[in-house]
């Protein structure tokens, strides 16, 4: 029988602190109309959240559902060029949502040209995007989400403060009001969920003349010829939607594209981009950005392989060289919170070295920087604090997608990681190229449509990783992610009846292994 059933009243889970934090204890909460328990009297709030992004808001709203008194601080420091935004964090304002909308806009332009082959009477010579109209539409949607989020916080009784909260001690936060008055509040638990922001290189002209993904989605002028510095997923996605919208992007690569992803898939994705007209400058780093009399930007750069120096003129320079956690202004030392590489160090329960202070989302060191990860970990944390739950966040095998024209989605291990952990002799890689039916009539290239399953070589061959490049890859892999988490095997995969004709069914047709040396290109679509 559970403790809650035994006592007949709600229970509160508390951490039982010892040098190794070895357990939990519970005490009985006697509910009253004014919640006047000793703990309620001691602190102004049960939970204080620093950060109004996906993870922080999810945690705050979940905590309120379980009876907690919650306050949330949210503050956005403008970018060097003055860009700022409302509540909702990176995802809503300058990340996933505007990125996906720009991605969709670029795909629509491509689809209009393909419509001619499908019999539509389209004068595709006059088709071109209106950048200002697109930006206005995207920003209009973002503002509507900001408004809905504020209303939702009000309805759920989460107290929202549009100000930066900083630590005074491990239970106290200080902030400035709109009238510039300094105030302090206390809370039993504090969750840091302030996220991160793009990095700028330490070179002349970087902050004065360059922009980042924080600025591109609200840029008032057309980007024109754009240098994207950095070849992570943010840089590649920006370069691709700019190319799809008719602009001329160049990607500057210091070492490799998509570090941390499967190497074969990453190189295939880069080759697809080259085929579509995106220029790459490999083994190259910028050394200075100089504004010209006509307003354009002269970028000086160095080839680290040949040591040759060069320069080119661009209309826009977009920095996509990584992100840093927003810890500088929080005064974490006042609370004794440990950090590493601009991030907060936590344990498996998202607790910092200070037992009643937690962190969720992109601010955590060594965890996936993804919106769904932040949301789920925030909710689970709130349930552990206020609903007697003991469920921890599982950070393993999280699916992700790179939103390029042919998307790349994956879940589980890369081929390199699987070989490193299990040995090449214990790994079997099933792979194949495929032909999306929709590509036939407009005669689109299929040379980069590829997928593979990385599996154990013995038994039913448990799947360790799935990788897919092709149309709507994120929609394809999402369902397979649940299957992989549930112990998917190659045997189950090949015995699953596919939906025909779809690209997702290609996973049920993976019969060729790399070890066999057989040709992985398809011979027929229906046999």
pLDDT values of the chain reduced to their tens digit, one per residue, 527 residues:
443 433 343 334 433 333 333 333 333 333 333 333 435 679 999 999 999 999 999 999 999 999 999 999 999 999 999 999 999 999 999 999 999 999 999 999 999 989 999 999 988 677 889 999 999 999 999 999 999 999 999 999 999 999 999 999 999 999 999 999 999 999 999 999 999 999 999 999 999 999 999 999 999 999 999 999 999 999 999 999 999 999 999 999 999 999 999 999 999 999 999 999 999 999 999 999 999 999 999 999 999 999 999 999 999 999 999 999 999 999 999 999 999 999 999 999 999 999 999 999 999 999 999 999 999 999 999 999 999 999 999 999 999 999 999 999 999 999 999 999 999 999 999 999 999 999 999 999 999 999 999 999 999 999 999 999 999 999 999 999 999 999 999 999 999 999 999 999 999 999 999 999 999 998 767 76
CA distance 511 to 513: 7
Q: How many CA atoms lie within 13 A of 40 on its CB side?
A: 13
Q: Output the known binding site for NAD(+).
A: 230-237, 322
Closest of 169, 171, 178 to residue 71, by C-alpha? 171
- Nearest-angstrom CA–CA distance, 286 and 299: 7
pLDDT of residue 24: 37
Here the tokens at position 346 are 């936590």
Q: Which residue has the tokens 């990681």?
A: 417
**Residue 507's beta-bridge partner residues?**
none
For residue 526, the model assigns a pLDDT of 72
Looking at the DSSP bridge assignments, the partners of residue 318 are 211, 228
Output the pLDDT for position 13: 40
- Binding-site members are 100, 165, 230-237, 322, 362
Distance between CA atoms of residues 288 and 282, nearest Å: 17
pLDDT at residue 20, as a whole number: 38
Name the residue among 46, 8, 63, 1 with its Cα closest to residue 30: 8
| Residues of the binding site for FAD | 100, 165, 362
| Residue 439 burial class via C-beta count within 10 angstroms: exposed 0-12, middle 13-18, buried 19 and up | middle
CA distances from 235 to 30, 280, 307 (A): 53, 12, 24
pTM of the model: 0.91
| pLDDT value of residue 127 | 84
CATH 3.30.390.30 in the chain, residue ranges: 400-516
The CA angle 131-137-138, to the nearest 5 degrees, is: 90
pLDDT at 126: 77
The pLDDT assigned to 180 comes to 95
Q: How far is CA 485 from CA 137, 345, 350, in A?
A: 38, 26, 22
For residue 462, list its beta bridge partners: 489
CATH fold for the domain made of 400-516: Enolase-like; domain 1 (3.30.390)
Q: How far apart are CA 225 and CA 296, in angstroms?
A: 10
Provide the H-helix boundaries in 245-285.
Answer: 263-275
Work out the number of other CB atoms within 10 angstroms of the CB of residue 409: 25
- Active site residue: 103, 422, 448, 500, which one? 500
CB-based contacts of 280, cutoff 8 Å, min separation 6: 231, 250, 251, 252, 253, 270, 273, 274
159 Cα distance to chain centroid: 27
- The CATH class of the 45-198+324-387 domain is alpha beta
SS3 224: coil
CATH 3.50.50.60 given to domain 199-321? yes
CB atoms within 10 A of CB 145: 16
> Which of 313, 329, 8, 302 shows the shortest CA–CA distance to 165?
329
Where does CATH 3.50.50.60 sit in the chain? 45-198+324-387, 199-321
Helices 131-155 and 54-65: crossing angle in degrees, nearest 10, is 20
Q: What is the pLDDT of residue 39?
A: 55
- Tell which residue, 283, 239, 233, 242, has the closest CA to residue 262: 233
Annotated catalytic, 448?
no
């Amino acid at each position: 029988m559970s403790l809650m059933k035994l006592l007949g009243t709600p229970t509160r889970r508390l951490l039982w602190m010892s040098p190794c934090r070895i357990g939990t204890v519970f005490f009985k909460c006697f509910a009253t109309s004014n919640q006047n328990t000793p703990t309620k009297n001691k602190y102004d709030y049960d939970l204080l959240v620093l950060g109004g992004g996906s993870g922080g808001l999810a945690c705050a709203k979940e905590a309120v559902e379980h009876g907690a008194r919650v306050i949330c601080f949210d503050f956005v420091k403008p970018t060097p060029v003055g860009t700022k935004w409302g509540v909702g964090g990176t995802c809503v304002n300058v990340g996933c949502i505007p990125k996906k909308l720009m991605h969709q806009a670029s795909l629509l332009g491509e689809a209009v040209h393909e419509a001619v082959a499908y019999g539509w009477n389209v004068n595709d010579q006059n088709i071109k995007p209106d950048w200002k109209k697109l930006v206005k539409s995207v920003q209009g949607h973002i503002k509507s989400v900001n408004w809905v989020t504020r209303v939702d916080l009000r309805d759920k009784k989460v107290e929202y403060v549009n100000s930066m909260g900083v630590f005074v001690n491990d239970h106290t936060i200080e902030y400035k009001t709109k009238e510039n008055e300094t105030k302090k509040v206390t809370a039993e638990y504090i969750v840091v969920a302030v996220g991160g922001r793009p990095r700028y290189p330490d070179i002349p002209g970087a902050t004065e003349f360059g922009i980042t993904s924080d600025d591109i989605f609200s840029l008032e002028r057309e980007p024109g010829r754009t240098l994207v510095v950095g070849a992570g997923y943010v840089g590649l996605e920006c370069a691709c939607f700019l190319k799809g919208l008719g602009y001329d992007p160049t990607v500057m690569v210091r070492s490799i594209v998509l570090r941390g992803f499967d190497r074969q898939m990453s190189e295939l994705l880069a080759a697809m981009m080259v085929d579509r007209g995106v220029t790459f400058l490999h083994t190259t780093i910028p050394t200075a950005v100089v504004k010209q009399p006509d307003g354009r930007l002269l970028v000086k750069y160095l080839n680290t392989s040949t040591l040759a120096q060069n320069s080119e003129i661009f209309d826009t320079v977009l920095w996509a060289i990584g992100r840093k956690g927003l810890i500088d202004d929080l005064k974490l030392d006042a609370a004794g919170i440990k950090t590493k590489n601009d991030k907060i160090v936590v344990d498996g329960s998202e607790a910092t070295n200070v037992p009643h202070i937690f962190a969720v989302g992109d601010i955590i060191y060594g965890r996936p920087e993804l919106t769904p990860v932040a949301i789920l970990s925030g909710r689970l944390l709130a349930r552990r604090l206020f609903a007697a739950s003991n469920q921890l966040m599982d950070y393993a095998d999280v699916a992700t997608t790179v939103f390029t024209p042919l998307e790349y989605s994956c879940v589980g291990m890369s081929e390199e990681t699987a070989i490193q952990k299990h040995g090449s002799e214990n790994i079997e890689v099933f792979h194949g190229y495929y032909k999306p039916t929709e590509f036939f009539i407009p005669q689109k290239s299929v040379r980069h449509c590829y997928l593979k399953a990385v599996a154990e070589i013995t038994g039913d061959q448990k799947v360790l990783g799935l990788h897919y490049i092709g149309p709507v890859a994120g929609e394809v892999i999402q369902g397979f992610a649940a299957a992989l988490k549930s112990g998917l095997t190659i045997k189950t995969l090949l015995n699953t009846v596919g939906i025909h004709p779809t690209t997702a069914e290609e996973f049920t047709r993976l019969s060729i292994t790399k070890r066999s040396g057989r040709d992985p290109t398809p011979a027929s679509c229906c046999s």
